[in-house]
Structure formats: structure tokens, C-alpha cells
Amino acid sequence: MKNKSEKQAKSVSPLPGERTTPGDDHRENGGGEKEKPYSPFKDFVKKFSKQKMALIAFFAIAIIIVVAILAPIIVPFDPTVDVLSQYSQEDQDQLGDNRINIGYQWVLSDGSVVEATRVPMVDSGNRRVVNARGSADSITATAVNEGETFVAVSHENVTNYLRIVVTQSQFYRPILTAVEVTPGKDYFAPGEEITLEIKGHLSDGEVLEDRSEIARVIEEMEELQGSQDTTGGRIVGQQVETVEEGVLGIIFGNMDEEILTIEEDGRIIAAQEGVGTVQVSLGGLSTVVQIPVGPTALGQAEPIVTAFQFQETEAQLVDLYKHQPPSTLHFFGTDHQNRDIFSRVLVGTRQTLTIGFVSVILGALLGTTLGLIAGYYGGRIDSLLTRASDVLLAFPGVLLAIAVIAILGPGIINIIFAVAVFTVPIFLRIVRSSAMSVKNMTYVEAAKSIGVKDYVIIFRHILPGTLSVIIVYLTMRIGTAIIIGAVLSYLGLGGDITAPEWGAMLNAAKDNSRNVFHPTLFPGLAIVMTVLAFNLLGDGLRDALDPKLKD
């Protein structure tokens, strides 16, 4: 910009068609300062420095350019990769876990604990909060959203719960994780009513023996049920006829109808000798109990699985998988793929500015050349070029750019080209009109009269006269070009959709804009501020260079 202004300053003093060397320029310039004549450049600097907004914009742009150049070095996180894999151990400790593997073993009816040989069925009480599944050696629980839920682990007729809290919870009480049922006696006689002792195990390790307390905990746990269907509705393992007992809502399922009978009121009666098995379900939890009938049945029973023994029955997780809010770790938060938005915005500056500068400079070069030719020669060339530019100007800018992308295919180079294409007619038109007025100046006439070649006249005598207009438009158009570039990549025409590009970031974030504000806010702000800076700078330049341009 500075250089161009200098050029303009030189050109005001008419130089006859002699070809001057750069050395000459310099000498002449130096000479001019000694005599302190009117210097248009100094005049411009003086006028420009009076405009505070433009000055701020100028520095803002300088910073943006520096950021663009240094972005890959100064970003705290890799903008293309999930931040989870980039945390230091320290960060990780501070944040907490987002996943836990809980080992499990089987508890058999004889009290022994053995390694499980089959993978249990695992389901989360609310998959909006926690997602869980079982594998050969552990239960994996993954945090999804803030809240609390239980994870149901089932094997055949046994179901136990795990309590999982994600980030923080409204429900802060321990939950019932298992029911333990033991026969009231060593063995029962046929015809005798069977008594069962029921204990409830809480997630904090406490054991409840009082039935009314168990009932209270179960009632409270209803709050935890998500709106989703869970294993509650699914029948796991052997299907048995069930009878519900009135008081606690315990459901008994008779698995050996020959040995035991269950009355409708929930009483269990021993029918004949042998080992009977009963499934006991309570609030979604269930277990089985073996009931020996007759003295011969003692020790006869094959041990069966009655419960799970977990490494832990409670776990605290954090939901870090996406949309982390702005924090000291992530200034702008993270996006839907958990990438650091601050890093992405900074790195995106480079591509945005590249699109803005390269496309406008390309368009300006071509447009200015054509405009000078049209303005200088006039006649048929002029009308041909003017009509062509009118055709291009008839399209709205974005539409034209989309048409170009449709032909060339998506990609950043094609975006640059597309933006350049619709910049051409704007420069053509503006340069043409100012070339036409400069053309009638006497110094041009003078140059012509001594036989200076056309291209020399165009570039040495006419171009400098149009420079101020070109500079102003150049600055203004960069803002527009950045917007069009962002629009195109917003529309998914930018090629790589994973690239850290402001428009593409907005596009990816728009679906969640109802729930989270930061993924759309920051790229949007970046666009607004950059474009605003270029426009303010353009305004300032216009006022400083040529107040007459202000229509």
C-alpha cells in the first residue's frame, strides 16, 4: 500500500515518455523531500492518521495477518484432532475420567466367587447419560451427558446395578445395587412354608436388612429411570411364571415347579424333596435362591450364579466428549468433534486470508488490465468488455461463485478462482471509468503526441491515476471475498469438510446451535471482526485518498 502511494506521488509530476530506472525514481524522490514540495503521500498519511477507526482496523489487520502466519506455532492444541488424546497427564487428572472399565466376577450360591465365563448383558438405565456394554473381562461405561443413572448387568436370572454419576447429579443418594436372598433355615420339610431373608446392598457398601427401608430406596430410584426403554421390559434368561407379593412388590418366579409351589399371595410352600430354585426380583434387580427341601437335599445343589461381584459399584465420570464449554483450558470451548475451537479459529485465519487476498488480487489484476484497455481504447473493445462485465454483474456474487464451483468442483483453489471471477467485472468497471477520465488529461495527450507506445501510456500515465480507486476497492473487496469464501465453505463447497475453516465450522455447528452457543459464536465473531476490520480500513483509505469518492 505504501509503495503504491509513493508511485502515485511520483506520477503526479508529469514525466515525459522517457524510461526511468528505479535509481532515478529514488534520486528524484530524495530531491523532492529536500525542497519540501507538496507530497501527496505525506498528505495521505496525515489524513489517514486522523481516522481513529481506520487506524485501529489497520492494526487489527496487522495482528490478524501475524496470527495467520504464526498460527500453527501458537495454537495450544492440534486443530484437526480430538483434544482428549492431547491432554497432558496433569490436565487429565484435573478433569477426571470419561470412561471406566469395571471388572466383574460371579458370586455363586455357595458363597464362592469365581471368574465369569460368559459375557453378561449390560444396559444403561438412561443412555442419554451413560452408555455401557460388557466384554469378556469388564463392564465399560462411557459418559454421554451430565446426570446420573444405573447400569443393569444381567446374567440369566440375575440382575445387578452399578451407579454411575456423570459430572454432577441431582440425585445424590446411594442406590440399591443387588438383592441377596438366603433361605431362613438350612433345609425345609415338605409342606412347610418357606421363609426367605432378604438383604439389599447399596452402592456405597451399606447393607439394608429392613424391608421397609429397601422399599424406600427402590421408590426413590424411580427418579433415575430415563425416558428410554431399558432391560426392565426385556425378559432375560429363563422365562418363569411369576407371582407378586403384596407388601414389598417382590416378584417370585418358580423355576422348579415339582419341588416348590408359590401361592397367589406370595407364600412359597415346599412340595417334595429336592433342591428348588426361586427367582426373586425387586425393583428391576433380581437374584436366584436355592431352597433345599428335606434333609437329603443339603449340599446336593449345584452352585449357581446368584450375583456379580464388581470392582466398584459406584463411579464418577465426566462428560468430555464434545461441546466442552469455554474454560481456561479451552478458551473458546470445543466443538462437536471435541476439537479446540480457539486453535481452529486461529488456524482458520490463514485459509480465510489466503482466500481473501489471493482471490481479490487475482481479480483486481485481471479486472484492472481489462478496465485500462477498455477505458483507453474505447470503441468496440470497450463495448465488448463492458457488456461482458455487465453479464457477470447481473448475477448475484454468491450465485456466480456457486456456479463456478459447480463447474470446477469443490476445493480451496476453486473457491479462490470463483471469488476472483466475480471480482473481475467490478474492477473492470471502476478502472474503466477512471481510465476514461484520465485519458483526456493533457499529459496523456502530450505523451501521445510524441509517439509513446500505447502500453507505456496505459501503465505509466493512466494506471497511476486510477490507483487510489483500486486501492480503496481492493481493501473493501477483501472483506467481501472473505464472506463469500466463508459462505462457500459453509455450503460445503470448500472440499475437505474437516478443515479448520470458519465457514465450515459454522456449518458443522449449526445443528447444535440451539443447545450450545460457543461452536457458532467464535467462528462467527472471527468472520465479523475480520470483515469489519477490512471494511473500516477501506473506508479510512477512501476518505484519505480521495474524499470525492464518497458519494
Which cell is 365 given? 489484476
Contact segment (CB under 8 A) with another protein among 22-30, 76-84, 265-273, 431-439 equals 76-84
**Number of residues assigned to the chain:** 551
Q: Residues 200, 214: contact at Cβ < 8 Å?
A: yes
Rg (CA), the chain: 40
Which cell is 91 given? 490436565
Q: Does 309 bind another protein (CB under 8 A)?
A: no
Closer by beta carbon to another protein, 63 or else 456: 63
List the one residue out of 164, 105, 156, 155 whose CA is nearest residue 131.
164
- Shortest gap between Cβ of 307 and another protein (angstroms)? 23
Q: Does 161 bind another protein (CB under 8 A)?
A: no
Q: At what angle do helices 502-509 and 341-377 cross, to 10 degrees?
A: 130
Q: What single-letter DSSP state applies at residue 334? A: B
Q: Does 60 bind another protein (CB under 8 A)?
A: yes
Q: Does 300 bind another protein (CB under 8 A)?
A: no
Say which amino acid occupies 122.
Answer: V
Contact segment (CB under 8 A) with another protein among 182-190, 292-300, 318-326, 354-362 equals 318-326
Q: Does 236 bind another protein (CB under 8 A)?
A: no
Of 336, 354, 381, 436, the one binding another protein by CB under 8 A: 336
Q: Name all contacts of 146-150 with Cβ < 8 Å and 24+ positions apart.
A: 146/319, 148/224, 149/124, 149/125, 149/224, 149/226, 150/124, 150/125, 150/175, 150/177, 150/221, 150/224
> What mask, x for binding another protein by CB under 8 A, covers residues 5 to 44?
----------------------------------------
Place of cell 500453527: 72
Say which amino acid occupies 534.
Answer: F
Place of cell 486461529: 346
Of 155, 322, 350, 429, the one binding another protein by CB under 8 A: 322
Whole-angstrom distance, CA of residue 28 vs CA of residue 263:
117
Of 1, 12, 53, 66, the one binding another protein by CB under 8 A: 66
Closer by beta carbon to another protein, 133 or else 267: 133
Contact segment (CB under 8 A) with another protein among 41-49, 73-81, 375-383, 451-459 equals 73-81
Whole-angstrom distance, CA of residue 529 vs CA of residue 544:
22
Whole-angstrom distance, CA of residue 277 vs CA of residue 291:
6
3-state class (DSSP) for residue 164:
strand
Closer by beta carbon to another protein, 81 or else 271: 81
Q: What is the largest CA-CA distance in the chain?
A: 133
Q: Does 92 bind another protein (CB under 8 A)?
A: no
Q: Does 168 bind another protein (CB under 8 A)?
A: no
Q: Residues 208, 200: contact at Cβ < 8 Å?
A: yes
Of 1, 12, 63, 384, the one binding another protein by CB under 8 A: 63
Closer by beta carbon to another protein, 339 or else 477: 339
Q: Does 135 bind another protein (CB under 8 A)?
A: yes
- Shortest gap between Cβ of 465 and another protein (angstroms)? 36
> What mask, x for binding another protein by CB under 8 A, covers residues 115 to 134?
---------x--xxxxx-x-
Place of cell 428410554: 228
- Shortest gap between Cβ of 340 and another protein (angstroms)? 13
Q: Does 338 bind another protein (CB under 8 A)?
A: yes
Contacting positions for another protein (CB under 8 A): 59-60, 62-64, 66-67, 70, 74, 80-82, 84-85, 98-99, 124, 127-131, 133, 135-136, 140, 142-145, 227-229, 319, 321-322, 326, 331-332, 336-339, 492, 495-498, 508, 510-515, 517, 521-522, 525, 529
